[in-house]
Amino acid sequence: MLRTHFRSYQHNGWVSSIMNGCGAHVRGHVYYEDRLYRDMDLCQLVSNMTSSEIELEITKFNGFFSFAKVSDTEIILVIDHFRSMPLFYALENCNVYVSDDAFWILKQLSAVTLDEDAAEEFLVTGHVAGNETLYRQIKQVQAGEMVRIRT
């Protein structure tokens, strides 16, 4: 069973509702089915949706948002099409670390390896493409992407 560790950078706008290890962490706002969802309304919407429903309905979400839905069997990470609120994640043993702060994740891991190709890319372009970061163990959710991590 995966253990999820979530931390936001100085709690900047995140709302969480987790009971018995299940629920959601959300940030931002979503227009969905002619209604605006934000804060606890958005948290409840995401918490009450199944992973299949999220996969089907996410294209109907309009707005600036990111969220992590946590259940007993999986973790779903979603970011809007602009990646206005980035999310990073790493897996180590049975632990999944999720945050909008890659440096916090870096501190949680027992061993990290610098990705030399990514570092060279960063020096040339000012960013790292795809889901890669400067460290092989830490990944990032891309714009408009849904990442599913299963046990």
pLDDT in the model for residue 10: 59
- Where in the sequence is the domain holding 51, given as residue range(s)? 3-100+141-150
Structural domain tally of the chain? 1
Does a structural domain hold residue 129?
Answer: no
Neighbours of 100 (CB within 10 A): 21
Residue 83, token pair as written in the block: 């990646």
Q: pTM of the prediction? A: 0.91
Yes or no: say if 67 and 26 are a contact pair by the CB < 8 Å rule: yes
Does a structural domain hold residue 132?
Answer: no
Binned at pLDDT 50, 70 and 90, residue 11 comes out as low
What pLDDT digit, counting tens, does each position of 64-114 carry? 999 999 988 899 999 999 999 999 999 998 899 999 999 999 999 999 999
Residue 74, token pair as written in the block: 């999986």
Does a structural domain hold residue 126?
Answer: no
Yes or no: say if 99 and 9 are a contact pair by the CB < 8 Å rule: yes
Does a structural domain hold residue 108?
Answer: no
Q: Which residue has the tokens 């790493």?
A: 90
The one-letter amino acid at 69: K
C-alpha 126/C-alpha 119 separation (Å) is 10
